[in-house]
Every structure is written in structure tokens, then in C-alpha cells.
Amino acid sequence: MTTNETTARRRAVLAVAGATAAATLPWAVAVIAGADLEVTTAGVTMDVGLALVLSGALTMSLAGWGLLVWLGRRTGDARRVWTGVALTVLVLSLSGPLMADADGDAKVYLMLMHLAVGAVLIPGLRAALGRSGASRTSVTG
């Protein structure tokens, strides 16, 4: 593995880890503020605890990285295409909190969690791919 590939992989790992950790900040503020993070969606009620926040953020971050790797192997314009998809997914993900049966505070904190993940992951993975976006191995090794 070349130095550039190692650096790119390290950046991608840091982006995924940072995005996962970023989701915990709004969650922690919500807990400290005493917000009720109980949400009902499609008839299923769940308490949005730390494990759910971490697993959701990690899963989506890894899916984003996987898509970036896949696009990087198939197109010379992976960076632009991936960014468009990532921004679209972020915007669509906000509909979850907006449409959930929860109080207003919970909806705000949940949206902040989604935005925190996107704010770290999108620029982080874009940087891992590099400026050209054409490298087919830069984030895969």
C-alpha cells in the first residue's frame, strides 16, 4: 500500500469515527437538558439511548464509506457523485425526526444528531478521496 493510500484510508477511518462521535454531542446535551428522547415511528416506540445513537451513526457512516469505495472503482467522478448522494441522504434522513411522534425538543435534538454526523462525515470522506476524485484505490488500499 502506498503512502497516499495509507493516508486516504486513515482519513476515511477518522471521518467515520469522528462522525460517529459527533452524534453523541447533541445526544448528551439532550440528556443533560432533560429532553425526553422517546420516539414512536410506524407504531414502534423506542428510547433513543447512546447505543442506538452510536450504532446508527456508525452504520450509516460505514455505508457512506462503502458507497464511496464502490463509486471510486467505477467512475472517475466519484467525489462529485458521492457528495450529491450523501447530501441527498442527509436531507432525506431529516424526515425521520420530523415525521416521528415525539415532542418538539426530541425532534430538534434528533435532527441535530443527523446534521452532526453529516457535518463531519461528508467533508471527511471527500477529503479521503482526494481532490481529483478519480483515484480508484485511494480509500480502499
pLDDT of residue 42: 85
Residues 6+ apart with CB under 8 A from 63: none
| pLDDT exceeds cutoff 90 at 2 | no
Per-residue model confidence (pLDDT) at position 134: 45
pLDDT tens for each residue of 14-64:
999 999 999 999 999 999 999 999 999 888 999 999 999 999 999 999 999
CA neighbor of 117 nearest in space, from 68, 31, 57 = 57
Q: Indicate the pTM of the whole model.
A: 0.89
